Amino acid sequence: MASVDRIINEAHNVLSGQLAVEIALTYGDQVVFPTTVQIDEVASPRRLFPGWREDVLVISIENQDVCAWGISLGGQRVGAVVVGGDRTRLTFWCGTR
């Protein structure tokens, strides 16, 4: 859990509430973090990142509710930015940064 807390704290340092709102308004996304700390868990039946093998801190959800952006909370790619979708078809593609 210490690793998860560290990632959340680091994300708060980088992504302020104001910046998140500005990004969301620009792209029409739904802001999740930092207003809400939502963890997308591997075992969730309504997974935002289907196929990703680690829990993810959700940053935003795309305006058409297809893609989601988050930060990986475990495994070898802990801290990586994850972009996942097509959520409407429960298929998965992702990119990490």
3-state secondary structure string across the chain: CHHHHHHHHHHHHHCCHHHHHHHHHHHCCEECCCCCCCEECCCCCCCCCCCCCCCEEEEEECCCCCCEEEEECCCCCCCCEEEEECHHHCCCEEEEC
Give residue-wise pLDDT tens across range 43-84: 988 788 877 888 988 888 876 767 788 888 887 788 888 887
Domain, as residue range, for 78: 2-96
pLDDT tier for residue 93 given thresholds of 50, 70 and 90? low
Give residue-wise pLDDT tens across range 5-24: 887 778 777 777 777 777 77
CB 61 within 8 A of CB 68: yes
Can you tell me the distance from the alpha carbon of 27 to that of 50, in angstroms, rounded to the nearest whole number?
Answer: 23
In the chain, the number of structural domains is: 1
Instruction: Retrieve residue 91's tokens.
Output: 């298929």
